[in-house]
Amino acid sequence: MKKKPSVANRYAKSQALFAKARDLMPGGVSSPVRSFKSVGRDPLFIQSGEGSAVLDVDGNSYIDYVMSYGPLILGHCHPAVQAAVAKQISHGSSFGCCSASEVELAGMICQAMPAVEMIRFVNSGTEAVMSALRLARGFTGRKLIVKMAGGYHGHVDALLVQAGSGATTHGHPSSPGIPENVTANTVVIPFNDLPAAQAVFAKFGPQIAAIITEPVMGNIGVVLPQGGYLEGLRTLCDAAGALLIFDEVMTGFRVHPSGAQALHRIKPDLTCLGKIIGGGLPVGAYGGRRDIMNLVSPAGPVYQAGTLSGNPLAMQAGITTLRLLQDLNLYQRLEVLGKQLEDGLRQSAKVAQCAISVQRCGSMITPFFSPGGAPVHNYADALQCDQAAFSMFFQVLLDGGVLIPPSQFEAWFVSAAHSEKDIEKTVALAEKAMRAVAEK
């Protein structure tokens, strides 16, 4: 009988690449969460992806729920997206001039999201947020920005305070290199705590330029807004003359064809987008009310620019992706698959006698290893989760051929390319992983 390779041998090429990468790149990675540091493993180096699966450089295949952290709603290497990018690159990759594809994608987004009357393309979600905050301050003439504890809006200096995502995963909710005066105009409140927001507005109302929040939090794991919460934020902003900014970089076109703002029937003043609107290529955008957006240069005095903004490759990938997403049957399929995974994880936890809270919004899902399986409503709740238990859970899944984000504080993403069999295999392996956690 052929001897099963050791874990070390199974990942030998990834480990060798990581050793080399650490000499060339900080921590050996281009983004912190990719290091797998919080789960006690060396990172994988991925060679290719197709449909719902990725293949690493050692030849190991995985059912993928990272999905590039959200953009790949159609799965890896969708043939129509590939064809659109290939056709565009045959004509050129970047011009530093306007292109028709920018106009087409802008029109598609504005039609899908009624709150977005005008839009400006940038290169990342971080750029989108940074630009939206500048615009909010320019429009209102005010300085203060209110954000939610655990809300990660990219590595914008002013918002890297009590941040979620990788900043929490690696134990650094804020960062050295940011002067105190930069964050002095940032006010942090808990998500889902309307009285806290009301208190801040009672104290600082005339000084507040904007509230920025993910309508559905995804960077501490999936946390949904409680009833009346987003409506309450809208009311506070209206009364104080502040702007409401929704960071839908993750949720835009993911949880609903018109974003989480349509799902919860709240109209923000500005919306930040990314991920799906680029079909897997680097992209970001911010948009909103026409009177606000017309302050952006060259129409107005609020300056923002970018050499590669509106890159034709990203525009074509985005156009093709959004065109395919106009088939509402696709969202119905995502809901069915997401519900199957949610129910399966809950049943696995019950059978394994492992306490978790499974939280989902459409095709975004997170199993939280929270105390007693208590629901997670905010950042403080998320920080109570058992990260050692999650690490064990992650490693059993990885070695069994299922790749999930290597952090308790991230969302999993289901794509249209996943199958019922993918979900069944994941659920069966999750039960094994939860048994290991329960027996530790």
- Strand pairing report for 186-189 and 364-368: unpaired
**Model pLDDT, residue 171:** 40
For residue 169, pLDDT over 70 is answered with no
**Model pLDDT, residue 94:** 94
Q: Residue 249 in contact with residue 284, Cβ under 8 Å? A: yes
**Model pLDDT, residue 267:** 98
Residues in the chain: 440
pLDDT in tens, 195-251: 999 999 999 999 999 999 999 999 999 999 999 999 999 999 999 999 999 999 999
Pick the residue with more confidence: 138 or 4? 138
For the domain made up of 45-64+329-439, the CATH class stated in words is alpha beta
Question: What does the domain layout of the chain look like in residue ranges?
Answer: 45-64+329-439, 79-325
Residues noted as catalytic: 152, 247, 275
- pTM beyond 0.85, yes or no: yes
Rounded mean pLDDT of 139-166? Answer: 80
- Per the rule left: phi > 0, alpha: psi between -120 and 50, beta: everything else, 67 is left
Q: Residue 320 in contact with residue 278, Cβ under 8 Å? A: no
- Find residue 63's DSSP bridge partners: 53, 402
Rounded mean pLDDT of 263-281? Answer: 97
**Model pLDDT, residue 281:** 97
For residue 170, pLDDT over 50 is answered with no
What angle, rounded to 10 degrees, do the helices at 312-325 and 100-112 form?
Answer: 30
For residue 158, pLDDT over 90 is answered with no
Q: How far apart are CA 175 and CA 421, in angstroms?
A: 42
Q: How confident is the model at residue 440 (pLDDT cuts 50, 70, 90)?
A: confident
Q: Show the tokens assigned to 217.
A: 């939090």
- Strand pairing report for 284-288 and 357-361: unpaired
- Strand pairing report for 186-189 and 144-148: parallel
Averaged pLDDT score across all residues of the chain: 93
Handedness of CA 340, 38, 32, 355 (dihedral sign): positive
pLDDT in tens, 237-252: 999 999 999 999 999 9
What angle, rounded to 10 degrees, do the helices at 312-325 and 79-89 form?
Answer: 150
Q: How far apart are CA 345 and CA 427, in angstroms?
A: 6
For residue 411, pLDDT over 70 is answered with yes
Q: Show the tokens assigned to 258.
A: 């018109």
- Phi, psi angles (nearest 5°) of residue 290: -60, -40
- Find residue 118's DSSP bridge partners: 288
One-letter amino acid at 349 equals A
Closest CA relative to residue 149, chosen from 160, 133, 157? 160
Q: How far apart are CA 107 and CA 283, in angstroms?
A: 16
Q: What is the CATH number of domain 79-325?
A: 3.40.640.10
Burial category of 231 from C-beta neighbours within 10 Å (exposed 0-12, middle 13-18, buried 19 and up)? middle
For residue 180, pLDDT over 60 is answered with yes
**Model pLDDT, residue 5:** 55
Q: How confident is the model at residue 12 (pLDDT cuts 50, 70, 90)?
A: very high
Three-state secondary structure readout of the chain:
CCCCCCHHHHCHHHHHHHHHHHHHCHHHCCCHHHHCHHHCCCCCCEEEEEECEEEECCCCEEEECCHHHCCCCCCECCHHHHHHHHHHHCCCCCCCCCCHHHHHHHHHHHHHCCCCCEEEEECCHHHHHHHHHHHHHHHHCCCEEEEECCCCCCCCHHHCCCCCCHHHHCCCCCCCCCCHHHHCCEEEECCCCHHHHHHHHHHHHHHEEEEEECCCECECECECCCCCHHHHHHHHHHHHCCEEEEECCCCCCCCCCCCHHHHCCCCCCEEEEEHHHHCCCCCEEEEECHHHHCCECCCCCECCCCCCCCCHHHHHHHHHHHHHHCCHHHHHHHHHHHHHHHHHHHHHHHHHCCCCEEEEECCEEEEECCHHHCCCCCHHHHHCCCHHHHHHHHHHHHHCCEECCCCCCCCEECCCCCCHHHHHHHHHHHHHHHHHHHHC
For residue 173, pLDDT over 50 is answered with no
**Model pLDDT, residue 152:** 85
Q: How far apart are CA 429 and CA 393, in angstroms?
A: 10
